[in-house]
Structure 1
Amino acid sequence: MPTAPVDDTGTVLFFEDTGAPPGSSTYLTVIILHGSYFHGLTFQNLVPYAASSNLRIVRVNLRDYPGSTKFSEEEMDAIKSGDPEIQAGAMKAQGQQVAAFLRHFATTYGIPPTTQADGKLVGGMTLVTWSMSTNLSMSLLAHAGSLPAETREVLGDYLRTIILHDPVSGQTCGAASLQGSYSPLRDASLSLDERINLARLRLSYYFSTVDDFKSITAEELNARVPMHESPLEDPSKTPTLLRMSKEERDAIGDRDAFVRSTLHIIRIAPDVFRENFERALFRLDGILPKIRIVCAWGDETMSDCVFATKIIWDRLEAARAEKTRFRDIEFYKLEGCNHMSHWDHPEKVIHLLTTRA
């Protein structure tokens, strides 16, 4: 079972690797982090496309998820402390563990560094953080200045892009929930099991298509409806989880990890996530300046992801108006995609990786 050490106390992260495309010395290494509940196996439909697309796809399981080190009691105490300063330290540590994974993989597996060929970037790595794991890419960049010099050097040579794949407003941007929105996890009328089951299912809904995230209002976001509940129901818009077998649903998720740690990370003080977001994308310190950001959003995903994308756009527009520094940020629409585009439309995610990463 392949694992990578990510600190000096024995902590490891489990990963699955497609390996280098045969005969290629210019392939792109794609490191993918999962979000809440669903772990790295949820990206399995991307694997068959890897070699033919000149990609090496590495699916990583986060702490507490299968094969990776569980959070210690001390770490969980920090996450649950309610003290923003202590929680900030906990999130900084998690971001630095991701950086350590990237360094380990680049230096251990001999992947090609980022170079230019015919005016285009080849080789190197892209880090894809999906859903809630976008908080880890924000933490990594926010605290890049305190990484070991060797790690910064490796990331500078290899990490060319970070993709925020369907970011979420709270853990990516530190924003308050969309006013008037519904979340099963906040529904006090449901038991914990009911909240988890409904939240998991809603992640895989297809919602009314959003044409332009930049101008959409809270009222319009809240008015979106699940497509499978429409009188004009399209079978292709049936929630992803309802088209899976029970065996598939069970295989790609980990309820115990979600309850033990992920729920508590979701509840970390918003200011912690907001500070990391600002430092990562807008209050730049000159560390790792070449890393580009691609914010990829599905136009039929849940409204919170569209809301998060709009928050990032609005903040970028404010930085432009104020003539302050910001990272190179591009927005990319995954057309006809819900929050689980990697399962339902892997070819569209592969196109994103081969054209934008």
Structure 2
Amino acid sequence: MPKVTIPNTSLEFFFTDNGAPTAEKYTTYIIVHGHSYHAAVFQRLVPLASERGVRLICVNRREYPGSTPHTAQELRVYASGSHEERATLLHEEGVNLAICVDEIIQKYALSSVTLVSWSLGNTFTMAAMASILSFPVQSQLRIRTSVKRVILWDAPIEALGIPCPPNSYLPLYDTELAPEARGPVFSKWVQSYFNHNDLSSHDPKQLNYRTHDTSKRRTFEDLSPAEFQGMADHSASDRCDTVLTKPPFASIISAVVEQALFNPDIRSAWNHPGISYVVGEANPWNVLVAAWTIQERVKEFNGKTPISFTFVEGVNHFGMWDDPKKFLDVLIGCNKA
């Protein structure tokens, strides 16, 4: 079971790895998963990555299978900590994730890394980027040298601390549903395909908030319970992920994103890696609103913070499962842009 340990701690991070390609020079994609669905959700990319000559390393965040759980004190902070406690904890988790990446870089002598974060995983990658000046100097140097690009993949508004537009809908907060029903309804909702209206308008009124495309099956609709349990851990997300999507964390996460993407000192400390933002157009509305918000923020900087945006037609939140070839092509294409 491949793992790395954070120096001077007992913290371990489990990861999957398809192994080094035969080519001397290759790109390694280190992927950070989102809410509930862990590294196993990327398994359909693995054989394709090997065929394409790229390396795919998928990290399980803390609390997920194989990685070190949070302490009781950390879980208390997630659930009910003060603003300052929560900000400190997210900063520390960012440092831990970044050092995990550095340990993987050292373990395999990686020279070309693309750091990819999917869904809620973007919160932790943004925290890692924002905290670089807190890393050991040698870690900073290795990351500056090896990480060539960062890809934000299907980040929802909750992962970036962006407020909901008026009259929006999210099953997790649907008071008409019993509390125990909200998670299962959300799971079906996020696996669905949505037909939206004019996406070029960047107008939230053009989005379809509730009604999924019934002509397309939900991503995991035909999966057996055992297969589904092999790639998702809802008990882990209940302990430390869902709370991140709630209002008390929004301002903390928003400040982290501002540092990671728009602070020139932070970008310089990372040696100005390319930043790509990838979105499937059949996603739920909250993913599209997040992308539009970041696009508008980039415009405010008049090109000083270049971020490339790719909108993928017909792909929902689980493109790596339903159409892995297309999604791998998009990821590889980001490094050629």
SS at match of 1:241: coil
Q: Structure 1 residue 253 and structure 2 residue 239: aligned?
A: no
Q: 2:242 aligns with which of 263, 267, 273?
A: 263
Q: Structure 1 residue 243 and structure 2 residue 222: aligned?
A: yes
1:352 — aligned with what? 330
2:138 — aligned with what? 150
Q: 2:119 aligns with which of 115, 126, 131?
A: 131
2:149 — aligned with what? 161
Query: CA RMSD for the aligned pairs?
Result: 1.6
Q: 2:166 aligns with which of 174, 179, 193?
A: 179
SS at match of 1:50: helix
TM-score (norm 1): 0.89
SS at match of 2:241: helix
- TM-superposed deviation, 1:249: 1.5
Q: 2:177 aligns with which of 190, 193, 208?
A: 190
Residues 226-265 of structure 1 deviation map (CA, whole Å, 9 limit, x = unaligned): 111xxxx2xxx21102132332212111121011211223
Letter in 1 for 2:14: F
Letter in 1 for 2:281: D
1:329 — aligned with what? 307
Residues 175-227 of structure 1 deviation map (CA, whole Å, 9 limit, x = unaligned): 112321111110123233311111111111000046535x2212111467311
1:274 — aligned with what? 254
Q: 1:212 aligns with which of 155, 174, 199?
A: 199
Structure 2 stretches of 5 or more lacking a match?
none
Letter in 1 for 2:285: S
In the TM superposition, 1:53-72 aligns within 5 A as: 53-72=52-71
Q: 1:296 aligns with which of 278, 281, 289?
A: 278
- Measure the CA separation in 1 of the matches of 2:312 and 2:25: 26
Letter in 2 for 1:94: E
Contact 2:199 2:206 in 1 (8 A): no
- Measure the CA separation in 2 of the matches of 1:223 and 1:274: 23
- TM-superposed deviation, 1:306: 0.3
SS at match of 1:89: helix
- Measure the CA separation in 2 of the matches of 1:105 and 1:19: 12
1:312 — aligned with what? 294
1:118 — aligned with what? none
- Measure the CA separation in 1 of the matches of 2:70 and 2:7: 13
Contact 2:194 2:208 in 1 (8 A): no
Change (3 A) 1:103 1:223: closer
Residues 33-52 of structure 1 deviation map (CA, whole Å, 9 limit, x = unaligned): 11001111000000111122
Question: How many residues are matched?
Answer: 332
- Measure the CA separation in 2 of the matches of 1:336 and 1:74: 43
- Measure the CA separation in 1 of the matches of 2:172 and 2:105: 38
Q: Structure 1 residue 47 and structure 2 residue 46: aligned?
A: yes
- Measure the CA separation in 2 of the matches of 1:220 and 1:6: 46
Identity across matched positions, percent: 28
1:100 — aligned with what? 99
Residues 45-95 of structure 1 deviation map (CA, whole Å, 9 limit, x = unaligned): 001111221111011111111111110012112222342221111111111
